Structure 1
Amino acid sequence: MPYEPPTHRVERSLRATTGAKIVAGVDEVGRGAWAGPVTVCAAVTGLRRPPEGLTDSKLLSVKRRNELAELLNGWVTAHALGHASSEEIDELGMTASLRLAAVRALEALPVRPDAVILDGKHDYLGAPWRVRTVIKGDQSCVAVAAASVIAKVHRDALMAELAPEHAEFAFEENAGYPSPVHRAALEERGPTPHHRLSWAFMDALPRWQHLKRTRCDPAEQIGLF
């Protein structure tokens, strides 16, 4: 389907209304996975024309996403990545883990942003950061779209690196997300050290209930069989 290319409209608005000179776009990947970290990218792009075809990473083919990520690594003014591990997700819950990963990404930037454009409806970042939330920002905002692509490609590569150790789980194909192969491997082999042991998918694994962890916020449990 055709889509409107992302623009700098929100960034220009932040510059005009708040005086922000450096604006970072922030997006995450891995929120709905059963295994692996949640990964956040913070990207600063300025107001330059973006590479052709830039949009939300989920709308791109694997080939095009990888091509764009390579282009973006040299095109963005600055970018950094932050992760929260499966252990941290189990301990803190997803909202706090998203904030942890986002702060790690923002603090790793070589410049401190004056404002942040955060993809989605909820501000999981909060003070002291000046945040503008934008629903579908990964489609409409250049910096957020760039962060979306870089984060997705980076996390997919991380999960592919784990695949040889856990071949039955096909992490190189599903990146730790739910899939029939992933489900079958869980039932047969049990969770790996990279799985989120407090998540609801564990309830469907009677052989492995002794490994299940109690989650701090049961309302956040997702990923049922």
Structure 2
Amino acid sequence: MMIIWPTFKREKQYWEQGIQLIAGIDEVGMGALAGPVCAAAVIFRNEIQMSKSKCQFNDQIQKPKGVVIRDSKAMTAQQRDEAAKWIKENSLAWAVGEASVEEIDTINIRQASHLAMRRAVDALSVMPALLLIDGNPAQPHTKIPAVNIIKGDQLCYSIAAASIVAKVYRDKMMENFSRRFPGYDWESNKGYGSLSHKNALLDKGITVLHRKSYAPVAALAHKQYP
């Protein structure tokens, strides 16, 4: 299978138009049965500035030496941890936002994911002029224009970086939650509907971190709290 490496091609289109502060945005956790949905926003310097910095790319596709930057789902946990550290050290700005389980159940997961994105953008140390967002049309921020890129986490460097930062953040959060709520295997499944997680739901019932608006959880919640 051919490996697809993200590039700065999309960002460059806007840099050349004079738009310098461009934030890549991606979310993680929409399909999970438990835990918050999280999003990250990452702003890189203009690639001309980056080429003169310590980033030291080793080819024309912006793959920094010794670090893998690509769709976070195609990376190992160690690769993501190393990449997240590199991104935080070499980006102009980065931030993470989240929406709680209560917010997911109240306003639905799609709106909650937009809320997490907006919180990530608002937490940036500098305000971007443009948002590049992975996936289908979304306008999470009322004051900043957005461009949606299908498979953006595979194609766009800033979005790929955001996907890594968001996943590392949420994975560590779910690992911490697994110590508070043992037996659901969250340290491995990160709250997604694995067989071990579903079996634990049947055996142990739901927790306050389970999304009661999700059908598999709602069915058990009805039995647990008739």
Structure-1-length-normalised TM-score: 0.88
Moved beyond 4 Å, runs of 4+: none
Hey, what does 2:91 align to over in structure 1? 76
Is the contact between residue 202 and residue 208 of structure 1 (CA under 8 Å) also seen in structure 2? no
Shift of 1:2: 3.0
Counterpart code for 1:190: G
Shift of 1:96: 1.4
| 1:181 equivalenced with 2:201 (yes/no) | no
Alignment of 1:162-181 (within 5 A): 162-181=177-196
Counterpart code for 1:83: E
SS in 2 for 1:196: coil
Hey, what does 2:21 align to over in structure 1? 22
Distance 1:124 1:36, change over 3 A: farther
d(CA) in 2 for partners of 1:106 and 1:126? 8
Is the contact between residue 98 and residue 124 of structure 1 (CA under 8 Å) also seen in structure 2? no
Shift of 1:73: 1.8
Distance 1:66 1:142, change over 3 A: same
Query: How well do the aligned residues superpose, as a CA RMSD in angstroms?
Result: 1.5
d(CA) in 2 for partners of 1:192 and 1:118? 32
Structure-2-length-normalised TM-score: 0.87
Shift of 1:189: 1.4
Q: Deviations over 1:123-153 (max 9, x none)?
A: 1425322111101111111111110111101
Shift of 1:173: 0.5
Q: Deviations over 1:158-196 (max 9, x none)?
A: 000011121110111011001111101111211111111
Match of 1:103 among 118, 133, 140: 118
Shift of 1:9: 1.1
Hey, what does 2:171 align to over in structure 1? 156
| 1:37 equivalenced with 2:36 (yes/no) | yes
Is the contact between residue 114 and residue 138 of structure 2 (CA under 8 Å) also seen in structure 1? no
d(CA) in 2 for partners of 1:129 and 1:84? 20
Hey, what does 1:142 align to over in structure 2? 157
Counterpart code for 1:41: A
How many positions carry a matched residue from both structures?
A: 209
d(CA) in 1 for partners of 2:210 and 2:4? 37
Hey, what does 1:196 align to over in structure 2? 211
d(CA) in 2 for partners of 1:111 and 1:73? 14
Is the contact between residue 43 and residue 78 of structure 1 (CA under 8 Å) also seen in structure 2? yes
Shift of 1:202: 2.5
Shift of 1:44: 0.4
Is the contact between residue 96 and residue 124 of structure 1 (CA under 8 Å) also seen in structure 2? no
d(CA) in 1 for partners of 2:156 and 2:43? 11
Q: Deviations over 1:59-101 (max 9, x none)?
A: 1112211221122221211100000001000001112111111
Hey, what does 2:223 align to over in structure 1? 207
Counterpart code for 2:6: P
SS in 1 for 2:181: helix
Identical positions, percent: 36
